[in-house]
Structure 1
């Protein structure tokens, strides 16, 4: 399978088609139209997308104020709003792929995806990642787990001690609670490191096996 060398705008157009019009229904309809009329349709779609999203925003925006964590909901709403509008603008890039074999390109991409899945070459697999990327993932997941533990411990602390009288016994119980929390986090960190090293050991073995397999195949060829 030969891959057609694509420009940046053509890659964007192919990405748009793969995710929005993978059956090429809209693409084939647009291809039969005069270029001037196509440009008019692009402009109409963009304007419609902007007004439609503004209309939807006016309908649901008021509910954000009464929702928990309204800033979060506004953030998510803005992502959706600008993503839809950006998607509408990207339809213009289709003009760059009307003269190439889009169907074959998408077929090649589908076949490459199948081969990657069959040979387990997906980028999300740990064994296909660089060691520094894996370390970053391990650390990020550890930080996330510690954050969850801290939130849970803080909630438990407030629930148990918020209404307790400030007595020596209460202070003793608080001290025990803090010691238990610190002990738990230390043990969690120790176990996490052991599991992480064990996991990465097997990941390294898989990478080594794959490298040997490739070398054998190259020698055979």
Structure 2
């Protein structure tokens, strides 16, 4: 069992990480503004499960193997880039459904689609695994017991911290939808805003040199 002092330090590190604006926060805030807090919370569930996926890989030692093979890392990264570009196109394509119009939060994207978008956006970001690999070893020690148990313990603390903070952000951002409802001319701007976010994240991931 990891000492309480170490857990507190790790919690603070996880808190700083989630409060730093990143792809997940940007995506969830945008989803909350465009489709409402219910849709954003479903997306958050997918993001959290994606984090759990990386945590399991790290805990079982599989991520170490993945990162040791450059082609495996590059392949996963490019899949993520393609997926993000696909989401960008879906947001701005001519004649496409407008997912940015306020109203019924789940009118255009089903719960399954919202969840899967959050899940794959998180799973297909190899930098999450790299972050866990760089942070976990600083708090895990053999004398504390099972390495696997310690890794899972830290992982669940990080996911809980991230999900809690992002949920608070989602509920705060959802109120902005009322403003968009009163200003329909901004609906098109919202559409391109979301598309630009996905395209920007894809570009950032593509240019990322990895390790």
TM-score normalized with structure 2 length: 0.31
Question: With CA pairs under 8 Å and 6+ residues apart, which has the higher RCO, 1 or 2?
Answer: 2
Greater CA radius of gyration, 1 or 2? Answer: 1
TM-score normalized with structure 1 length: 0.30
